[in-house]
Amino acid sequence: MELQNGRPTDWAGRLPKEIRCYDLLDRLGVTYQRIDHEPAMTMEACEEIDRTLNAVICKNLLLCNRQKTRFFLLMLPGEQHFKTSVLSKEIRSSRLSFATAEDMQTLLDITPGSVSVLGLMNDHDHKVELLMDAEVVKGEYFGCHPCINTSSLRLKMSDLLEKILPAMEHSPRLVTLSEE
């Protein structure tokens, strides 16, 4: 694994949704580093990627209420355990569950294992609310996938909050999920 600056020069095998991520970041003038790797389906698989990026890849979960009338993209530190009951209470939404692969595809043009905040660029109808654990925003850098789990990006948190999310017309809602 080798850290590269910016977008790939070889587009062979790259999916359009990945290329759209690089197009967005470049259009916004966001500086980023990239690593290409084997599919990373779990947080454990991301540990070596984290070390190479020198940034923690956030755990990204797409959740919904039972009626599927509300959808949430939750970003939390990779090592943090997630308890549905804690989040449900904080956002006043009962019976949260994981969204289906079909929901992921329909709402964010992503598949299981590649959930990313960058998928919000595909949420043109604003059906997904972004929830960010307060600990995530404290870091200078974070890692995420460019809507595909065979690459990972290192981005500045300030670029996410000040450039990327406004361009995607999404605002984060900070939540506190610490297990005290």
| CATH code for the domain of 43 | 3.90.960.10
Domain span at residue 132? 4-172
Write down the pLDDT at residue 41. Answer: 66
Domain assignment present for 180: no
Within-domain flag for 45? yes
Query: Is the residue at 28 inside a domain?
Result: yes
The answer to whether residue 178 sits within a structural domain is no
Contact 3, 53 (CB under 8 A): yes
Whether 177 maps to a domain, the answer reads no
Indicate the average pLDDT of the chain: 90
Q: Is 158 part of any domain?
A: yes
> Measured between alpha carbons, how far is residue 11 from residues 8, 14, 52, 150 in Å?
7, 5, 22, 13
Element (H, E) at 106: helix 101-108
Does some domain include residue 120?
yes
Distance CA 96, CA 84 (A): 6
pTM of the model: 0.91
**Tens digits of residue pLDDT in 45-81:** 667 777 788 887 788 999 999 899 999 999 998 778 8
Distance CA 160, CA 30 (A): 9
CA distance 47 to 43: 7
Phi and psi at 53, nearest 5°, equal: -75, -25
Question: Could you tell me where the DSSP H helices lie in 4-57?
Answer: 16-27, 47-53
pLDDT per residue over 142-163, tens digit each? 989 999 988 999 999 999 999 9
| Number of structural domains found in the chain | 1
Question: Taking residues 107-135, what's their average pLDDT?
Answer: 95
Residue 71 lies in a domain: yes
